[in-house]
Amino acid sequence: MSPKQLTGKKVKRLTIYIGESDKWRGKALHAALLETLRTQGMAGATVTRGLSGFGAHSVIHTANILTLSMDLPIIIQVVDTKEKINAVLKIIAPMVGEGLITLDDVEVVKYTHRYLNPLPADKHVAEVMTRKVIALTDTMSVAEAWETMLKHLLKALPVLNQNGEVVGILTDEDLLERAGLEQRLSIAERLERSMLQAEFTALQESPLKVADVMTSPAITVYENEPLGVAAARMAEHGIKRLPVLDEKGKLVGVLSRVDVLKQVVTKEAKKRAAKAPTGAARTLGDVLIPEVPTVAEDAPLAEVIARFLEAGTRRLIVVNEAGHPLGLISDADAVTSAQPASQRGVIQALRGGKTIPDEKITASQIMSRQVLSASPDMSLTEATHLLLAQKRKWMVVVDAHGKAIGLVDRQALFKTIMHQS
């Protein structure tokens, strides 16, 4: 049973109490039981040797140096699914001639193999973070903030008060929801300046300041905290970036999801993955997202927009009749492929507007043909390296016939590292 299949599930714990001197066919019983459990494919088993105890005969056995016993209590524990526990019980129960077997319900909070944990969790955040930080002030106008985001192409920026303390985070989503911005940064950066000017003028006339629209309080991390703690905090709150503070509470860097993922593709991480025993290394097939948001290559723009809204995503995979991926369409592609006069209408349609511009273009004309694909057998370390090297956010998983069977993105890889998939 893989860690993914057990984590977060309610399963069974089998506990076997025997004596150290118990035998099975001339072999120590605990060793025979352990071997049987292994051959039956159980997720794992632990044998514990007790310091002292007594059983049905009320004879006390102890490991005290003066009364050393050769029949100390032995406890064997196994955690797995109800079905597998029930099946293995039929085999091992006859082996326990004298002892005790119990069964109880447990919930697996975390289960991982040491080779499946490539994140160097004990590193300090300061060793990994990005030190060059662009920050906003809480008194800055929303127009100035948006201009700063566009200039540096950053979707989220920490916000400082007059004392230099981090008091919030401003994202392009905050500006969309609370300041009347019409499109996200990934779309805006591809539009002509003239297209953005009217919106920028409206923002300039707004009385809103950054403090009025930012997300507050900010979730932060200290530079001397372990990377594992920081990554867990990011996963818990579903955020991509953490402002990093020094011991005085001053901003000294930013830890991004990409910063964390880069630690998985180091030489050390690859060596650990290479040493993994058969079946231990996890692959794309273990973590892929089976719901593939696809659109037919001949679909008109109106259908492409409808598919975006239906799938609740910002990217679509263009496929042919056989289901083979041909290209990728982002919402920004859909906007910029339209005529300039229609682009604002496409932006509004993507946000749920009812009117869709009548543009005579199809998915195959809009898409980018640079599709990053891989087989489900690719290791997660290799997949992470490929995504980062090619600066991609998505990877299409295809079967032996080249048909799209799933997707893997940075978020899925990040959650896997944190054992939350």
**pLDDT for residue 231 is more than 80:** yes
**pLDDT for residue 10 is more than 90:** no
How far, CA to CA in Å, does 218 sit from each of 5, 138, 142, 227, 248?
Answer: 34, 12, 18, 18, 16
pLDDT at 17: 92
Reported as a pLDDT band with limits 50, 70 and 90, residue 420 is very low
Task: Kindly report the average pLDDT of the chain as a whole number.
Answer: 85
* Residue 320 token pair: 């042919």
| Over residues 199-219, mean pLDDT | 93
How far, CA to CA in Å, does 115 sit from each of 270, 278, 303?
Answer: 10, 11, 45
Q: Which of the pair, 41 or 163, is modelled with greater confidence?
A: 163
Percentage of the chain surpassing pLDDT 70?
86
> What tens digit of pLDDT does each residue of 251-307 get?
999 999 999 998 887 766 666 555 555 444 478 888 888 888 999 999 999 999 999
Contact of 404 with 398, CB cutoff 8 Å: yes
> What tens digit of pLDDT does each residue of 346-363 get?
998 998 887 777 888 999
* Residue 297 token pair: 């290559």
Q: Residue 1 corresponds to which amino acid?
A: M
Backbone angles phi, psi at 122, to 5 degrees: -85, -5
> What tens digit of pLDDT does each residue of 186-198 get?
999 888 888 888 8
Q: Domains, the chain, ranges and CATH?
A: 3-111 (3.30.70.120), 125-265 (3.10.580.10), 282-417 (3.10.580.10)
Please tell me the distance from the alpha carbon of residue 81 to that of residue 389, in angstroms, as a whole number.
39
How far, CA to CA in Å, does 387 sit from each of 198, 284, 372, 373, 391?
Answer: 36, 12, 8, 10, 6
Reported as a pLDDT band with limits 50, 70 and 90, residue 60 is low
Least confident among 25-29, 70-74, 210-214: 70-74
